[in-house]
Amino acid sequence: MSGMATIPVLYLSHGAPPLADDVTWTGELRAWGKDLPKPKDILVVSAHWEAAPATISSTTAHTPLVYDFWGFEDRYYQVTYDAPPAPELAQKVARAVGGSVRQDPGRGLDHGAYVPLVELFPEADVPVLQLSLPTLDPRKLYALGERLAELRDEGTLIVTSGFTTHNLRWFHPQEGPGGTPPTASSEFDHWAAEALAAKDIEGILDFERTAPAAREAHPRTEHWAPLYVALGAAAGTNHDSTSVIDGFWYGLSKRSWQF
């Protein structure tokens, strides 16, 4: 990618904290990070922060991470990712989104942001800002992505972070990360891959009616919703996408795309 090319947009399946122990997946994310152009800064939209109106995270250095998970070993609460703050990006996001953007000055990066960033950009030397999901409405999130698209031309990497299938009833640790996924997870993953390849944007926006096993794959839609932001941000580049990572992790589809 040349220096003048538009920075890509990512939709990635972010994993739970034990992702750090998965040699395969961490290797895939690290290889992906090495292939990416180094951005000026990073804007993350994670499934784990819903707040309306659109809200941005802290722009103060050393704001603690948000360990928004329970029942894990202590070591997962000791992970750090002290990326530089991004006050300039905060101003650009406010400009792009409009006057209704709030800031939560105490909000650090949640695990939907820092877990994958630890692998993608392990040096933690790129400024990072997080933006909340202000709604789960597909078309409103797509429109939000369209407004954010201009940031790509200014060197910002937009990382939308969810999970291609996300039903925690399928999560059985005793079976290991490489166990056979449920049929519903496989069917939804296959549909998603075909729909993105075919640029069936309407079908994706209406996935609860068009996708097989939609309600099983996403009993609640917050882990699929970040994709709508990515699609909006990729509209100007014709939704061209590459499925960079595929496969399953504890039954969940970890498929991830670059636009």
Residue 18 banded pLDDT, cuts 50, 70, 90: confident
Residue 76 banded pLDDT, cuts 50, 70, 90: confident
DSSP-assigned letters across all residues of 120-177: HSTT--S-EEEEEE----HHHHHHHHHHHGGGGGGTEEEEEEE-SS--GGG--GGG-T
Which residue, among 159, 156, 166, has the nearest Cα to 188 in the 3D structure?
Answer: 166
Sheet of 242-245, strand order: 102-103, 55-56, 128-133, 41-50, 156-162, 9-13, 256-258, 242-245
pLDDT at 5: 64
At residue 29, does pLDDT exceed 80?
Answer: yes
User: pLDDT (tens digit, 9 = 90+) per residue, 33-60?
Assistant: 999 999 999 999 999 999 999 999 999 9
Residue 119, Cβ neighbours under 10 Å: how many? Answer: 22
pLDDT at 255: 98
At residue 2, does pLDDT exceed 60?
Answer: no
φ, ψ dihedrals at 74, nearest 5°: -55, -35
pLDDT at 73: 83
pLDDT at 196: 98
At residue 162, does pLDDT exceed 50?
Answer: yes
pLDDT at 175: 79
User: pLDDT (tens digit, 9 = 90+) per residue, 230-252?
Assistant: 999 999 999 999 999 999 999 99
Query: Which DSSP state fits 61?
Result: T
User: pLDDT (tens digit, 9 = 90+) per residue, 92-151?
Assistant: 999 999 878 999 999 999 999 999 999 999 999 999 999 999 999 999 999 999 999 999
Tell me what the mean pLDDT of segment 2-9 comes to. 70
- Strand 156-162 and strand 242-245: pairing? unpaired
Which residue, among 225, 24, 206, has the nearest Cα to 134 in the 3D structure?
Answer: 225
Write down the mean pLDDT value for the chain.
Answer: 94
pLDDT at 77: 85
The rounded distance, in Å, linking the Cα atoms of 4 and 232 is 21
User: pLDDT (tens digit, 9 = 90+) per residue, 164-218?
Assistant: 999 989 987 777 888 899 999 999 999 999 999 999 999 999 999 999 999 999 9
DSSP-assigned letters across all residues of 72-83: --GGGGS----P
Q: Global pTM?
A: 0.95
Please give the structure tokens belonging to residue 123: 């040096």
- Among all chains, which residue has been given the structure tokens 């109106």? 53
Structural domains in the chain, sorted by start: 9-181+220-258 (3.40.830.10)
pLDDT at 129: 98
pLDDT at 19: 82
Q: How many CA atoms lie within 13 A of 9 on its CB side?
A: 28
At residue 3, does pLDDT exceed 50?
Answer: no
